[in-house]
Amino acid sequence: MPRADVVVIGAGLSGLSCAAELAAGGARVFLAAKGYASTHWTHGGTDVAAPAGARTPREGVATLAAIDGHPYGWLDGALDAAIAAHRVRLDTAGIGLVGTLDDPLVPIPTAIGTLRPAAILPAAQAAALEPWGDDGLLLVGFGRYRDAWASYAARNLRASAWEAGPGEIRALEVDLPDLAELHNLNARSLALRFDDPAWRTRALATISARIPPGAWRVGLPAVLGSAAHLAVLEQARSTLGHEVIELPSLPPSVSGLRLATALERQIMGSGGRVQVGFDVVEVERDRRRIVAIHTEAASRTLRLAADTFVLATGGIGGAGIRAHPDGTLEERVFGLPVEAPPRDGWFSDDPLVPHPLEAAGIRVDDLHRPIGQDRMPLLDNVRVIGSALAGMRYLAERCGDGVALASAHHVASSLARSAVAA
Amino acid sequence: MTMPAEVDVVVIGGGATGAGVLRDLAMRGLTATLVERGDFASGTSGRYHGLLHSGARYVESDPLSARHCIEENAVLRRIAPGTIEATGGFFVATPDDPDDYLERFPAACATAGIEAEPIPLDELFRAEPLLNRRIRAAFRVPDASLEPWELVDATLASAREHGATAYRYRPVVGIDRAADGSVQAVRTRDARTGEEATIACRAVVSASGAWAGQVAALAGATLHMSPGKGSMLILNRRLTSAVVNRLAPPGDGDILVPVHTVCILGTTDITVENPDDARVTADEVTALLADGERLVPGLSGARVLRAYAGSRPLYDAAEVGGEAHHDESREISRAHHVIDHGTRDGVGGLWSIVGGKLTTMRLMARDTVDAVARALGNEQPCRTGDEALPAPGGSRPYWLGDRLSAVESAGGGDADLVCECELVTRARLTHALDERSDSSLDDLRRTTRLGMGPCQGAFCIPRASAMLDARRADGRLEDAAPDANAALRAFAAERFRGTRPIAWGDQLTELWLSAGIFRGTLAADALPPSAGRDDAAR
């Protein structure tokens, strides 16, 4: 490996987006990651901000930016350009991105029949954003797929207060062809089947035959193809004769997997390199500079030297930050200090409400260099992005994707500027 | 289910002891019914470390209890082999354990009739390579791993075969007494419907363990229990293949028990006022890990799946013994004690069985029923040690491979896994729900191991909730069955309680994955309280 300009560590939304932007700008980029990340287990939408009371993502961002120490306090300005760049990347990949920062946050149905707020979604989920008018919602489950619960979801949605929701909500269980002898199908195994044109033609015909008369939007499990997603989505719309809405469920998330695959391709298409599956095992350091990292590789280690290292390893959920039995928290690659509430205040009593520990993370300066208690940079050539950042509660605030994209763009553009200046 | 209007004996408490008492009563031809405030084996019996004691733990501190343990160890292996995995056990002397105890141990075991074979250290380390290399002596003893839910289930099944009945979710709200002070009926309330029922009886056995003081009070008797909270940690794999005990007087963090695919590190002992206090504190976790390190260095770096606590049914010996039992009380105070509230408190026909160990459950039942039967004029001898219990579901319930074979041999959608960690199929859950249609997800956990693996329910909870919902929509569940949304919330909260005290490392990351699924993708925090019953549009 020749020396890289930038080594990005982490293959979540922030790391992939940052590497894609840098590579497209001509930098020599190497992305190294221990494994795939939150893209593979989340819903694949673009959560920018949806704190209580916000009518649009932009209003939500303003609310969050006012919270002391929240990344939107300085990243809000980067958001428009970040979303625009993300849109271009997803359009190129055939995934699409519908909705803007100024569109209303509307309640969209989940796989168990609750409602969550969204404004910006991939094309396959976007029909849930349109006003329902007289349309009904027909939820379809597949007989042998364990993670679509159409009847349960429909009953919950009918019992919920869904203002301006569908006129009618129904559920339907359909047995797709050739699955009877198979076991434990997950979203990805079904998506790979939908990639096969002959099988999906029969499968869609089977579903179509069961759809009752009326004006429906058809809610399907989020399994409409992987590599051939765009073709599957178009064929589903035309065969069913209705708009379709993918409903993401348990991991693996096909929506997120499409996104990660597309970004990885774009990085490599711009000459960047991607290595997923190997942990960082050693760090070479010269005072406040990182000289190189070593990753595991087959029967040896790989030395990656670079001018700049972008840390996109995630927070606790992505295992970029790890807690020890004594209650201390550690950033795993560079051993950076982690800001967190005291141990006895980490959790709420109810698992379904926010926990104070969710705000744990790494404090950074305006260049996103990690800083210590004295606010001075700890490492001069490291930039921290994504959910490793302190001060946000990405589940409660539904801001994880927005912060990932904005911080990735902020860092990528400032690195590009300094490269030009040099 | 209609409860009987009249029986000879009502047993209060559906743990191992109560189930044993019920079976013994039924086998002697007495009519009997059992009522349990929660699910069967949901109290101390289901919240212990899973050890079939050899008795070697008590050879010094409590020789009588040690003798009971080794005798009953042999009996349970004979009558309930399917609930026991013959792991064997070791007592090992770490550098921190006292020399004099090590010197006295072999003779004390011999006196109690427990085989304790000295083992060369190289043999020990070949068998258990992860053990501390500074261990300086080891003995092999007949400890084993025991599955409490299967044991209680099988015991209740045997009792039913002999004509007894047992009801769960029936807390006792009153014990009625005749003018002479003796008991004449037990009043219960259905915990789900609120419906009350009265069962007339000639005698009442309180097998309510740490809760025996509360039950005695309902009949106007006084019994002071000193519940001992014992906290344990579940490690995500077997660090040893046999039970390993520290060769020291009983203390914290002194035992590792391999159970199913995991192992349990136990056990603290803290006297608590309220037996329902099952919170595991950070101090207990720290102490357990520090002590566990003495057995297996590096153990604190292992993945801890959960922490949990049970309440030992300990009692104040002097208090329980009273004058009438003065001679015996001292000797048996650390073992079990049958209390006759007729002679002690003037409440004729009420007995409490307190103390004891899960291993001695059959003996505790025998001693209790000996007293009760004699008082009721029944002369039948105890036969509970002669007849085997009905075999539990699989031949080796602790062996994941048996469940895997069952999965592979089954076909169709029913063979799909609902819980991937513990290989629980849709068929298994459907069967469990057919048998007990009012089961909550936590009750299903006790019968199927649903949600007990590394992910602690992140994947199986929504799947199983949707199954419950489908059954209710089909009208196949009783009104008492929990609503799917309530079931989801309750089980998620229950699993979280055990994860929270040990939330670090991989298990904290797992908790964040779970939070991402429940709150991010599924927005389960927005679930309506009830999934509703309307299904007109299906």
Q: Hey, is A109 helix, strand or coil?
A: strand
Could you tell me if B441 and B461 are in contact, meaning their C-beta atoms sit under 8 angstroms apart? yes
How many interface pairs between A and B have CB atoms less than 8 angstroms apart? 172
DSSP structure class, residue B436: -
Place of tokens 């009043």: B187
Examine the pLDDT at B431 and tell me if it is beyond 60: yes
B282 touches chain A (CB under 8 A): yes
Q: B227-276 pLDDT, tens per residue?
A: 999 999 999 999 999 999 999 887 766 899 999 889 999 998 888 989 99
DSSP β-ladder status, B144-146 and B84-85 = antiparallel
DSSP structure class, residue B388: P
Contact B532 A159 (CB under 8 A): yes
Q: Give the B window 439-468 contacts with A, CB below 8 Å.
A: 459, 462-463, 465-466
* Residues contacting A263, CB < 8 A, separation 6+: A16, A17, A19, A20, A89, A93
A395 closest CB neighbour out of B416, B519, B532: B519
The CA distance from A387 to B214, in Å, is 51
* Residue of chain A with shortest Cα separation from B500: A347
The CA distance from B393 to B425, in Å, is 14
According to DSSP, the residues that pair with A35 across neighbouring strands are none
Residue B196 has a pLDDT of 96
The CA distance from A415 to A224, in Å, is 37
B524 closest CB neighbour out of A114, A159, A343: A114
Could you tell me if A147 and A249 are in contact, meaning their C-beta atoms sit under 8 angstroms apart? yes
Residue B329 has a pLDDT of 32
Contact list in B for residue A318 (CB cut-off 8 A) is 509
Examine the pLDDT at B193 and tell me if it is beyond 90: no
Query: Which of A412-416, B148-152, B322-326, B377-381 has the weakest average pLDDT?
Result: B322-326
Contact A114 B503 (CB under 8 A): no
Nearest-10 crossing angle of helices A79-92, A254-269: 90
Q: What is the pTM of this model?
A: 0.91
Q: What's the Cα-to-Cα distance from B231 to each of A116, B285, B335, B421, rounded to whole Å?
A: 39, 8, 21, 24
The CA distance from B337 to B321, in Å, is 8
A325 closest CB neighbour out of B300, B411, B484: B300
Examine the pLDDT at B480 and tell me if it is beyond 80: no
Position B1 confidence tier, pLDDT thresholds 50, 70, 90 = low
Residue A326 has a pLDDT of 87
Per-residue pLDDT of chain A (422 residues; tens, 9 = 90+): 568 999 999 999 999 999 999 999 999 999 999 999 889 999 999 999 999 999 999 999 999 999 999 999 999 999 999 999 999 999 999 999 999 999 999 999 999 999 999 999 999 999 999 999 999 999 999 988 999 999 999 999 999 989 999 999 999 999 999 998 888 999 999 999 999 999 999 999 999 999 999 999 999 999 999 999 999 999 999 999 999 999 999 999 999 999 999 999 999 999 999 999 989 999 999 999 999 999 988 778 999 999 999 999 999 999 999 999 888 999 999 999 999 999 889 999 999 999 999 999 999 999 999 999 999 999 999 999 999 999 999 999 999 999 999 999 999 999 998 887 76
Place of tokens 């029936």: B170
The CA distance from A194 to A375, in Å, is 52
B528 closest CB neighbour out of A147, A156, A395: A156
Residue A255 has a pLDDT of 96
Torsion angle of C-alpha atoms B491, B496, B497, B502, degrees rounded to 10: 150
Residue B535 has a pLDDT of 45
Could you tell me if B304 and B106 are in contact, meaning their C-beta atoms sit under 8 angstroms apart? no
Share of chain B above pLDDT 90, in %: 75
Contact list in B for residue A324 (CB cut-off 8 A) is 504-505
B532 touches chain A (CB under 8 A): yes
* Residue of chain A with shortest Cα separation from B417: A184
SS (H, E, C) B336-381: EEEEEHHHHHCCCCEEEEEECCHHHHHHHHHHHHHHHHHHCCCCCC
The CA distance from B477 to B283, in Å, is 43
Residue B537 has a pLDDT of 37
Q: Is the preceding peptide bond at B240 cis, omega within 30 degrees of 0?
A: no
Q: B153-176 pLDDT, tens per residue?
A: 999 999 999 999 999 999 999 999
> Structure tokens of B455?
């992910």
A42 closest CB neighbour out of B420, B506, B520: B520
Amino acid at residue number B356: G
Position B395 confidence tier, pLDDT thresholds 50, 70, 90 = low
B270-286: burial string, b at 16+ Cβ within 10 Å, e else: bebeebeebebeeebbe
* Residues contacting B100, CB < 8 A, separation 6+: none
Residue A330 has a pLDDT of 95
The CA distance from A106 to A97, in Å, is 16
- Per-position DSSP letters for A287-327, written without gaps between them: TTEEEEEEEEETTEEEEEEEEEEEE---STTTTSEEE-TTS
Could you tell me if A111 and A190 are in contact, meaning their C-beta atoms sit under 8 angstroms apart? no
- Per-position DSSP letters for B221-267, written without gaps between them: ----B--EEEEEEEESS-S-SSEEEESSSS-TT-EEEEETTEEEEE-
* Residue of chain B with shortest Cα separation from A358: B512
Contact B300 A350 (CB under 8 A): no
Could you tell me if B449 and B306 are in contact, meaning their C-beta atoms sit under 8 angstroms apart? no
Q: By CB neighbour count within 10 A (0-12 exposed, 13-18 middle, 19+ buried), where does A100 fall?
A: middle
The CA distance from A406 to A86, in Å, is 10
The CA distance from B334 to B329, in Å, is 9
* Residue of chain A with shortest Cα separation from B510: A317
Q: Hey, is B180 helix, strand or coil?
A: coil
Contact list in A for residue B503 (CB cut-off 8 A) is 323, 346-347
Nearest chain B CA: its distance from A133 CA (Å):
20
The mean pLDDT value of chain B amounts to: 90
The CA distance from B313 to B339, in Å, is 14
* Residues contacting A120, CB < 8 A, separation 6+: A45, A46, A48, A57, A83, A97, A98, A99, A100, A101, A103
Q: What integer is the mean pLDDT of B197-202?
A: 98
Q: Degrees (nearest 5) of the Cα angle B526, B531, B537?
A: 120
Could you tell me if B258 and B236 are in contact, meaning their C-beta atoms sit under 8 angstroms apart? no
Residue A262 has a pLDDT of 97
Contact A180 B528 (CB under 8 A): no
Residue B317 has a pLDDT of 65
Residue B332 has a pLDDT of 38
B295-314: burial string, b at 16+ Cβ within 10 Å, e else: bbeebbebbbbbbbbbbbbb
* Residue of chain A with shortest Cα separation from B303: A325
According to DSSP, the residues that pair with B446 across neighbouring strands are none
The CA distance from B159 to B26, in Å, is 6
